[in-house]
Amino acid sequence: MKIFNKVAIVGTGLIGGSLGLAIKSNKLASKVVGVSRHKKSLLEARKKGAINEGSITLNIIRGADLLILATPVNTIISLTPQISKMISKDCIVMDVGSSKEEIVSRLSRVFPNYVGAHPLAGSEKRGIAFANKELFKGSLCIVTPDNKTKKSALLKIKKLWSGVGAKTMETTPSTHDKIMAFVSHLPHAVSFALMNSVPEVFLRFAASGLKDTTRISASEPQLWADIFMSNYKNILTALGLLEGNLKQIKIAIKTRNRAALIKILEKSKTKREKLK
């Protein structure tokens, strides 16, 4: 079911590359082209079949009816003026960044057919090497229209995501960022802090508990620094709540209050068991 004619993906990494693969294998577009700063990444993207053509310059995006921005937020912002001169006004533009309020307000001013999206898929691994066409299957993609978003563009973007196997949900950019601060950004912050707290000589005694809780602490530092910077208000709120919960545990331990501790632990067990 063809939705687009020419799709251009700027940033052929894990998400961009997987989208290319999924779009091509589901025949959602006639042609997919890719842009990356790294020739090697483009070569691999072509070899894997994620793109039909690749280029290290933006020229290749000309004529696209869907432009996917899948680079880190800072790169998106710095490329915007150049990109806006190259694409037609009808071209739908979508980014796939992890925080939305800042980027949506910037891009919806520049691109008349802009739709923000955030696929809740991916991992601590990055790069085209880990891209796969099934990455979005059964996952959730949050789309974040604002009052400037065109219904027609939104509809096509939702079709795209269901075409690659994802369910979609709509929230405002601001609600999205509040939610993500808790379900994604806070777990990352906690995981980074936890990893940095464990003395290196003890690492060989680690069992699955530490491994699971710190898996995402191997995530890309630059990418996550940008996410933390861009969603800082919500993350600081979430960190404040976490500190309060840690303090409760600490006080219960310090005062030898077993009953209070059990109550805290029961609350988290009940909650966790709702997470399937």
What part of residues 3-42 is at the interface with a copy of itself (CB under 8 A)? none
Q: Is 188 in the site for a copy of itself (CB under 8 A)?
A: yes
Pick between residue 36 and residue 231 the one whose CB is nearest to a copy of itself: 231
Q: Interaction with a copy of itself in 96-155: which residues (CB under 8 A)?
A: 120-123, 139-140, 142
Stretch that binds a copy of itself, among 34-42, 84-92, 99-107, 239-247 (CB under 8 A): 239-247
Distance from C-alpha of 272 to C-alpha of 51, rounded to nearest angstrom: 40
What contacts 58, CB < 8 A, 6 or more positions away?
10, 35, 79, 82, 83, 86
Site string for a copy of itself, 168-187 (x = CB under 8 A): -----------xx-xxx-xx
Site string for a copy of itself, 86-105 (x = CB under 8 A): --------------------
Q: Estimate to the nearest angstrom the gap between the alpha carbon of 265 and the chain centroid.
A: 31
Q: Interaction with a copy of itself in 197-226: which residues (CB under 8 A)?
A: 197-200, 202-203, 205-222, 224-226
Residue of 4, 111, 114, 192 interacting with a copy of itself (CB under 8 A): 192
Pick between residue 5 and residue 268 the one whose CB is nearest to a copy of itself: 268
Tokens of 276: 């399937």
- The single residue listed with the structure tokens 């009052």 is 147
Pick between residue 85 and residue 211 the one whose CB is nearest to a copy of itself: 211
In 79-99, which positions are buried (b, 16+ CB within 10 angstroms) versus exposed (e)?
bbeebeebbeeebbbbbbbbb
Which residue intervals of the chain are DSSP H helices?
Answer: 14-25, 39-48, 73-86, 101-110, 151-163, 173-180, 186-197, 208-214, 221-230, 232-254, 258-272
Site size toward a copy of itself, by CB under 8 A: 84
